[in-house]
Amino acid sequence: EEGAMSFALLLIDVDIFKSVNDTYGHAAGDASLKRVANLLKTTFRSIDFIFRIGGDEFSVIMVEMTSDLKDTIQDKIDVINEELAKEAQDAPAVSLSVGVAFSDRENKGESIFKDADQALYYVKEHGRHGVQLLLICSSLFFAPGIICL
Known catalytic residues are 56
CA angle 45, 47, 90 (to 5 degrees): 45
The neighbour count for residue 18, using CB atoms within 10 Å, is 11
- For 82-125, the DSSP string reads HHHTSPPSSS----EEEEEEETT-SS--S-HHHHHHHHHHHHHH
